[in-house]
Amino acid sequence: MFQLNERQLATFRRAAVADFEAQLVEHCAASSPALAALGRPHLLTVVRAAIARAAGHGFTFAGPVRLFVELALLFGSAFDTDVQYPWARERLAPTDDEQPTSRGLEQIDRAAALHDASMRALTAIRGGDDEHVGAALRSLVEIAALPIPDRIDDLPALALALLEHVHPEKCAFVGEPALRELIAAGAAEGARYGLSAPRDVLLVIGLMFALGQGCTADALHPWIGRILADEVIATPTLRARQLEETAMVAARVALAEADLGS
């Protein structure tokens, strides 16, 4: 009888993993022009990072891993720790009575629960036909054109009001306590890059709200971290302006795509 030795088995496993990764990369590229524009090599890095993150939650089967990768594309690569999405953390947590012999079934059950919760979130945030997306982008473009005072007594209150104006459906679904956590995290992240002016802090908060709490280090949006860390740009304020300009270009492109799809 023909038998494979361990080295041959390892080779087959690596080939299977590489084929799975390639399938996911093509799926990502086909799902969005913005993702396709990142290029296959960069997308492979994104996919591998998501697979590793999924494994950290005990997801090793193809179905659960694919779901995790897709949710990372939709909600941000760090969706599993994002304060906006506690439903993800809850469904990813292993059950207390998990036994080694039932881990396969257990991850399938968790993946099914995660899928159901994510569908509810997407419907609430984006709308049944993504109708909330275009409205939010239009509001964002309008808000971005408004002047922001250099001094604001209650920045968190203003941030909350702006988020609710831009995307009321998402704010209602996420809830004020989580939004205030996100606002605090955005202010802290802005300070880490030397951003303290109200407009600059609001920009970071807005990016986290739209693209995920981990967006400043997310390979899905490499331009954010690259601009924030670009020492060629002389000051943090100038970096913030470059970041804002780039973000608004992306928003207008996304709005055009949303209008074409409507």
Task: Quick: pLDDT tens for 94-119.
Answer: 766 555 444 567 899 999 999 999 99
Give the pLDDT of residue 101: 43
CA gap 217, 226 in Å, rounded: 9
Q: Distance of CA 178 to CAs 71, 82, 170, Å?
A: 19, 9, 11
CA proximity to 75, closest of 183, 182, 208: 208
Query: In the prediction, which pLDDT does 5 show?
Result: 56
* C-beta atoms surrounding 16 within 10 Å: 11
Q: Cα separation of 203 and 249, whole Å?
A: 14
Q: What are the extents of the domains in the chain?
A: 6-126, 131-261
pTM score: 0.90
Q: What is the mean pLDDT of residues 204-225?
A: 97
pLDDT value at 259 more than 80: no
